[in-house]
């Protein structure tokens, strides 16, 4: 059974918080070649997460579109952070 949109949003938030380097110092974020400003991307995503956490805590139910848009934003930012070399690329299992 698929989770409801509130649970799905909370799951995405938990995964993003566990995966992306929100606590990395700015000096490390800005070291080396840059493909999109990692610091600004992480700040933006952190604000989005905090906004959704407040809305979810206030019992606001996100739509499927909200969940989809948020997930797409997180995926794009994850790709940019990976391209900057700040996190290791995900490995896929061989089939």
Q: Where are the domains of the chain?
A: 1-14+36-86
pLDDT tens sequence across 57-90: 999 999 999 999 999 999 999 988 888 777 777 6
Query: What CA–CA distance (Å, rounded) separates 33 from 57?
Result: 38
Q: Residue 94: which residues within 8 A CB-CB, separation 6 or more?
A: none
For residue 51, how many C-alpha atoms fall within 13 Å in the half-sphere facing its CB?
Answer: 9
pLDDT score, position 90 = 64
Helices 64-83, 5-19: axis angle to 10 degrees equals: 10
pLDDT tens sequence across 5-29: 999 999 999 999 998 888 877 777 6
Q: Are 51 and 91 contacting, i.e. CB atoms less than 8 angstroms apart?
A: no
Instruction: Using pLDDT thresholds of 50, 70 and 90, give the confidence band for residue 54.
Output: very high
């Amino acid at each position: 059974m698929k989770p409801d949109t509130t649970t799905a949003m909370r799951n995405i938030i938990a995964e993003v918080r566990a995966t992306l380097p929100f606590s990395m110092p700015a000096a490390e974020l800005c070291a080396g070649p840059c493909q999109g400003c990692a610091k600004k991307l992480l700040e933006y995503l952190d604000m989005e997460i905090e906004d959704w956490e407040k809305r979810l805590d206030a019992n606001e139910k996100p739509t499927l579109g909200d969940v989809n848009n948020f997930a797409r934003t997180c995926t794009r930012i994850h790709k940019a952070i990976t391209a900057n070399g700040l996190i290791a690329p995900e490995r896929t299992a061989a089939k």
